[in-house]
Amino acid sequence: MILVPLFDLKFLPEFAAGGVGTSNRRHYVGGNILHSIVTYQPSHFDGIRVLWHEAFPDDPPWNAAEIAIPAKLKIQPELFLVAIDQDLVDQDLVDQDLVDQDLVVGSIMAGYDGHRGWLYAAAVLQSHQRQGIGTALVREVENLLSGMGCTKINLQVRASNTAVARFYNSLGYEIEERVSMGKRLHQ
């Protein structure tokens, strides 16, 4: 499991020796909260499913976790990141699998095709929004894409979703004069 710091949050050395067993686990705090961003692990599945149900209530069936996650794990699984609530992990009261399952608070998927990078399905639990977790997920996946040689990232936002447009705008993404087109290959 790869653990990376949240973007723009302070590393707390006093937490470095604590945690629940992984020696490379590093803890960061922003405001009163403590989080880690990790690559997706199977133990995160149920937490992601709950998160996506809340964040994308109107999504079509083909975007369900049961379909989208196995598909993503076949191609560039390292570009599927999960934010976990490190505060509860540090209580060290339950085993690691249960912690990972229960404490997913955010996620993002990305892809790079050799020409463009794409971001998909950024989501943060409502109870954890406006604390910088979405920003941290985007920044971390931007770093991964950049490291793969990607020089331009695209994303699509539903026209009605002005809040998400403002979120991405705050991260430097601009609305471009394009017409979005698509075609489903399988029904």
Ligand X SMILES: CC(C)(COP(=O)(O)OP(=O)(O)OC[C@H]1O[C@@H](n2cnc3c(N)ncnc32)[C@H](O)[C@@H]1OP(=O)(O)O)[C@@H](O)C(=O)NCCC(=O)NCCS
Question: Is residue 117 involved in binding ligand X (CB under 6 A)?
Answer: no
Q: Which letter does DSSP use for residue 151 in this model?
A: -
Residue from the set 4, 48, 132, 145 that interacts with ligand X by CB under 6 A: 132
Query: Nearest-5° angle of CA 13, CA 15, CA 19?
Result: 145
Q: Does 80 bind ligand X (CB under 6 A)?
A: no
- 164 binds ligand X per the rule CB under 6 A: yes
Minimum CB separation of residue 156 from ligand X in Å reads 7
Please tell me whether residue 116 binds ligand X under the rule CB under 6 A.
no
Question: Binding residue for ligand X (CB under 6 A) from 131, 141, 145, 153?
Answer: 131
The answer to whether 141 and 77 have CB atoms below 8 angstroms apart is no
Q: Give the whole-angstrom CA distance, residue 76 versus residue 45.
A: 17
Residues that bind ligand X (CB under 6 A): 55, 121-124, 129-135, 157, 161, 163-164, 166-167, 170
